[in-house]
C-alpha cells in the first residue's frame, strides 16, 4: 500500500480516537524517524516519552531478537529468569521492596488503586477514598480515568469510580482538607506530563508525605512519564527528597515494548495473596530482557548527568525564544514545556512540515521530550526549527 492508501484505509478501518498528521512512518534510527517518502524527522516526541534510547538501538534490537528466538511468552503461571532479573534492578535501585509487572501506565495505576484499597481494608472497611489533583493524567481505564482531571476525558464515560477527590495541584492547604482518615491513597505525578509539564513544588510533595503519614494513607507517585531518567534523575522524586509508598512506571521502561510496573513497600505487598491480581501478558521474557537493556543504560551516573546538562541547555535556549507569545518555559531534564498564550497546534504542524516532531501537552503547551540520547547538535537543530516556525506563528 502506498502512503495515501494507508491513510485512506485507516479512516475506514480504525476507530477514530486519534488525529494523525498525514505521513506514514516506516523506520527510525537514533533520534530520527523516516516516512514512506524518505523524509527525515528529528524526533522530539519519542513516542510520548517512551523511546528513551531512540529508535533501533543496536544492543536493544540484538537482545530482543535473541530473546525472541528463545522464549517470548509463557504467562505468569511459570517462573522465568528475565522477570526476576528486571525486578532485581528495580528493587535494588528504588525505595520499593517488591514489584508487580503489567503492560501499560493505566494498568500500573489500576494496580496501585487495587493494592491501596486492599492494604487499607486491613485497617478499616471504610478507608476507600482516593485523592488526586487538577492537571493530572493517570490513564484511560475507568479507575485511572477517575484519578485523571480533564473533563473532556471523563465526561463521556461517567459514572466513573466513586470515592475520588480531585484537589488543586500544588495547593497544600486544599490537600489538607481533601486528605482524611478515610483516604487510602494520594496519587500524584511529581512532574505532571499531560497537564502541561508542571513540576510539583517541593513543599507540596513534602506536605503530601506528612498528610499521608498523619492520616494513615499511602503516597503514590505516578512516574509513568517523568520517571526512569526523563528528568535527569533515575526517579523524578529523587530531586524532591520525598519517598512514596507506591510508584508506577511504564512508558520508557522497555524501550518501546509495552510494559508497566508498580513498585511497593513490603507492608503493602504482604496484603496481596495469590489470585488477588494478575495480567496475562505481563513480564514476559521478551519485554523483560528489553527493559534490562534500557534500565542498565539509563542507570549510569554519566548518562543521567548528561540528561540534566542537556536539559539545562534546552531550557536555556528555549528561554531565549524571540516570541511575545511565550508565557512560561518550565521542566526538568529532558522533560520541558513551553506555554504559549494560544493553541500550539499550528506550531506542531509547522514543525513537522520542517522535519521536527514535537507534541503538545494540553492546548497551549509545547512538550519537548526527545530520546534521552539526544545530542547538543540535535537540540540546536530543533531550536533553530522552532525559532523558524515562530516567525509565522
Ligand X SMILES: Cc1ncc(COP(=O)(O)O)c(C=O)c1O
How far is it, in rounded angstroms, from Cα 50 to Cα 249? 11
Chain-centroid distance, C-alpha 196: 13
Cβ neighbours for 5, distance < 8 A, ≥ 6 positions apart: none
How far is it, in rounded angstroms, from Cα 365 to Cα 371? 19
Q: How far is the CB of 53 from ligand X (least distance, A)?
A: 18
How far is it, in rounded angstroms, from Cα 10 to Cα 206? 47
Instruction: List binders of ligand X among 44-83 (CB under 6 A).
Output: 48
Helix (H) or strand (E) holding 87: helix 81-92
* Binding footprint of ligand X, residue count (CB under 6 A): 15
Neighbour count for residue 178 (Cβ, 10 Å): 18
For the chain, helix (H) and strand (E) counts, in that order, are 14, 17
| Closer CB to ligand X, 105 or 284, in the complex | 105
Under the binding rule (CB under 6 A), the answer on residue 339 touching ligand X is no
* Ramachandran bin of 374, using left for φ above 0, alpha for ψ from -120 to 50, beta for the remaining angles: beta
What would the x/- binding string for ligand X be over residues 138 to 177, using CB under 6 A?
A: xx--------------------------------------
Q: How far is the CB of 122 from ligand X (least distance, A)?
A: 27
Helix (H) or strand (E) holding 188: strand 183-188
Under the binding rule (CB under 6 A), the answer on residue 101 touching ligand X is no
Considering only 67, 106, 111, 262, the residue that binds ligand X (CB under 6 A) is: 106
Considering only 28, 105, 129, 362, the residue that binds ligand X (CB under 6 A) is: 105
Residue with cell 508498580: 262
| Closer CB to ligand X, 247 or 390, in the complex | 247
Instruction: List binders of ligand X among 195-224 (CB under 6 A).
Output: 222, 224
Considering only 225, 306, 310, 360, the residue that binds ligand X (CB under 6 A) is: 225
Helix (H) or strand (E) holding 84: helix 81-92
Q: Which stretch binds ligand X (CB under 6 A): 35-43, 135-143, 151-159, 270-278?
A: 135-143
Q: Which stretch binds ligand X (CB under 6 A): 85-93, 187-195, 205-213, 357-365?
A: 187-195
Burial of 322 (C-beta count, 10 Å sphere; 0-12/13-18/19+): exposed
Considering only 35, 43, 194, 339, the residue that binds ligand X (CB under 6 A) is: 194
Instruction: List binders of ligand X among 230-269 (CB under 6 A).
Output: 250
Residue with cell 500500500: 1
Helices (H), 236-393: 266-269, 285-298, 301-319, 345-353, 376-390
| Closer CB to ligand X, 138 or 330, in the complex | 138
Nearest-CB residue to ligand X?
A: 105
Q: How far is the CB of 344 from ligand X (least distance, A)?
A: 17
Q: How far is the CB of 225 from ligand X (least distance, A)?
A: 4
Nine-digit cell string for 284: 514476559
Considering only 115, 133, 137, 233, the residue that binds ligand X (CB under 6 A) is: 137
Question: Which residues in this chain contact ligand X in the complex, by CB under 6 A?
Answer: 48, 104-106, 109, 137-139, 189, 193-194, 222, 224-225, 250
Amino acid at each position: 500500500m502506498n502512503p495515501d492508501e494507508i491513510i485512506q484505509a485507516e479512516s475506514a478501518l480504525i476507530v477514530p480516537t486519534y488525529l494523525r498528521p498525514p505521513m506514514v512512518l516506516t523506520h527510525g534510527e537514533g533520534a530520527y524517524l523516516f516516512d514512506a517518502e524518505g523524509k527525515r524527522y528529528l524526533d522530539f516526541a519519542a513516542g510520548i516519552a517512551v523511546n528513551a534510547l531512540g529508535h533501533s538501538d543496536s544492543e536493544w534490537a540484538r537482545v530482543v531478537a535473541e530473546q525472541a528466538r528463545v522464549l517470548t511468552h509463557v504467562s505468569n503461571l511459570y517462573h522465568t529468569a528475565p522477570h526476576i532479573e528486571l525486578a532485581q534492578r528495580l528493587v535494588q535501585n528504588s525505595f520499593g521492596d517488591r514489584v508487580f509487572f503489567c503492560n501499560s501506565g493505566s494498568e500500573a495505576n489500576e494496580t496501585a488503586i487495587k493494592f491501596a484499597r486492599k492494604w487499607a481494608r486491613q485497617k478499616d472497611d471504610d478507608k476507600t477514598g482516593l485523592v488526586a489533583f487538577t492537571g493530572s493524567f493517570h490513564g484511560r481505564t475507568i479507575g485511572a480515568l477517575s484519578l485523571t482531571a480533564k473533563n473532556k476525558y471523563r465526561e463521556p464515560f461517567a459514572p466513573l469510580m466513586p470515592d475520588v477527590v480531585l484537589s488543586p495541584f500544588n495547593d497544600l492547604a486544599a490537600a489538607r482538607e481533601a486528605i482524611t482518615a478515610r483516604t487510602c491513597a494520594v496519587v500524584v505525578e511529581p512532574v505532571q506530563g499531560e497537564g502541561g509539564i508542571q513540576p510539583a513544588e517541593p513543599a507540596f510533595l513534602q506536605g503530601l508525605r506528612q498528610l499521608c503519614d498523619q492520616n494513615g494513607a499511602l503516597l503514590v507517585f505516578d512516574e509513568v512519564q517523568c520517571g526512569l531518567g526523563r528528568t535527569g534523575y533515575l526517579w523524578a522524586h529523587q530531586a524532591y527528597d520525598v519517598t512514596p509508598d507506591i510508584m508506577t512506571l511504564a512508558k520508557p521502561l522497555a524501550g518501546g515494548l509495552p510494559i508497566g510496573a508498580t513498585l511497593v513497600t513490603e507492608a503493602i505487598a504482604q496484603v496481596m495473596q495469590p489470585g488477588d491480581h494478575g495480567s496475562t501478558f505481563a513480564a514476559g521474557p521478551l519485554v523483560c530482557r528489553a527493559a534490562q537493556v534500557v534500565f542498565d543504560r539509563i542507570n549510569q551516573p554519566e548518562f543521567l548527568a548528561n540528561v540534566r546538562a542537556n536539559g539545562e541547555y534546552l531550557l536555556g535556549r528555549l528561554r531565549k525564544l524571540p516570541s511575545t507569545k511565550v508565557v512560561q518555559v518550565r521542566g526538568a531534564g529532558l522533560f520541558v514545556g513551553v506555554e504559549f498564550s494560544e493553541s500550539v497546534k499550528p506550531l506542531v504542524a509547522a514543525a513537522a512540515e520542517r522535519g521536527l516532531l514535537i507534541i503538545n501537552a494540553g492546548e497551549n503547551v509545547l512538550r519537548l521530550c526527545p530520546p534521552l540520547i539526544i545530542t547538543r547538535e540535535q537540540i540546536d537543530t530543533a531550536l533553530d526549527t522552532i525559532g523558524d516556525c515562530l516567525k509565522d506563528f
